[in-house]
Amino acid sequence: MGKINHKSSSHIKFIDKIVNLKWLIIALAILFIGLGLLFLSNIMLNPLWFKLTETIGISLLPIGSFLLIYEYGMRKEYQNLIRQEFDESLKELACRCGQCEKYGLISLNIIRDSKLIENVFKNAKFGESISLLGVALADLLTYDSKEALINAAERGSIIKLLYLNPYCEEAEKHSLVEGQGIDDVKQDIEKTDKYLKKHKNKYPGTLSINNYTSMPKHFILIYKDGVYIGNYLNGQRGNRCPHFMFSPNSPIAKKYISHFNKVWDNSTPI
């Protein structure tokens, strides 16, 4: 015999009780209808309609009152059940938070947070390192992000940018994974390439830019406060995939930092 899921049972009981709040609505509706019919009976000129509306109205009042009293009496049970469910949810949340803390998970996003990337460059100070790995790094090409990147390089932040070589075989393969045409992927990368090449030589000590030719697997942003990670999913643009922020010293973050370093070591400066 399988184990009974007490948590699921509690949820079902909770939902059943909440659904039973319909009796409050029904009780109030009956009372209002009864009062309404009594009011109408006073303005009825036809004796037959007067008697009919009065009789129905008087009959509905005790029914509605009984249901309302019953509902009020049961309200304490609803409150206790809600309180119990809330306490259980808090315990479950605390347990999950403990797991998140254990593995260093700070936050998650359903899609990539481009503003977060921009703010990392905006807030970077002299000597702080920022490493960024992606396919086209298109997040850097908005006006504010361009300004944030260049200002960070001027302040003396140590920046490593690593993106896919648009002419390698893996670029075509990746376009199939995303469900895009190879020309679209190439154009996205070439826009980044053209912009960064204009600025690279202005900041030789702080801005390093490389191309890689291996199959893209992850978007990775590494900076002092965290490691921001997104995995490329079949049929999805990279910026539309879920992303996770981990503490930079967590075991998971260290694996992605190692991955970045290995890709960097096998990449080519532009």
Query: Quick check: helix, strand or coil at residue 145?
Result: helix
What digits encode the pLDDT tens for the residues 158-195?
999 999 999 999 999 999 988 888 898 999 999 999 99
d(CA 210, CA 197): 11
Per domain, the residue ranges of the chain are 6-103, 108-269
pLDDT at residue 118 in the model: 94
Q: What is the pLDDT of residue 259?
A: 96
Q: Domain 108-269 falls in which CATH fold?
A: Endonuclease; Chain A (3.30.870)
The pLDDT of residue 4:
37
Beta sheet of 105-109, edge-to-edge order? 105-109, 243-246, 226-231, 218-223, 129-133, 158-164, 207-212, 268-269
Q: Which of these, 178, 177, 182, lies nearest to 165 by C-alpha position?
A: 182
Task: Specify whether the CB–CB gap between 175 and 181 falls below 8 A.
Answer: yes
- The CA distance from 43 to 50, in Å, is 8
Which residue's structure tokens are 């309180």?
Answer: 83
- Which residues share a beta bridge with 22? none
The pLDDT score that the predictor gives to residue 2 is: 38
Spell out, as residue ranges, where the chain has pLDDT lower than 70: 1-24, 44-46, 49-50, 57, 67-99
